[in-house]
Amino acid sequence: MDGPLPAVPEFYFTEELKPISTLPKRTVQFLCKVSDSQAEVKWFKSGVEITKEEVKKYEITSDGRRRSLTLHDVTPEEAAEYSCELGVHRTAAMLDVKEEPKPEGINGNKNTPKNRH
């Protein structure tokens, strides 16, 4: 019996990634939702796919329709655009890693004692 092939469902994002701003050494999580729990996604950092070999640094999870990418112990070098692709659909957001604020009294701050003669 020849006939039309069954239509392949088109998956899409129902919730997109949101930008994250954090301090170094924190754990952050990019989260998105997809239209179907069977949808498979790929994660990217600055356009380069995050592979299974990088699992120590990144944790990729799939729970129902939720898809997440968790970064542990982030560093300023990891500030970049992270994206998630689902077929032809894509969602992306920036990770901004701020420097730790310097404690007062260092590098000529107002509270540094001055030498008076």
pLDDT of 99 higher than 90 = no
Query: Cα separation of 80 and 3, whole Å?
Result: 48
Q: Measured in whole angstroms, how far is the alpha carbon of residue 115 from the centre of its chain? A: 48
Residue 87 lies in a domain: yes
Range of the domain at 63: 27-97
Residue 92 lies in a domain: yes
What sign results for the dihedral spanned by CA atoms 19, 23, 24, 25? Answer: negative
Structural domain count of the chain: 1
pTM above 0.85, yes or no: no
Could you read off the pLDDT of 12-63 as tens digits, one per residue?
999 999 999 999 999 999 999 999 999 999 999 999 999 877 667 889 999 9
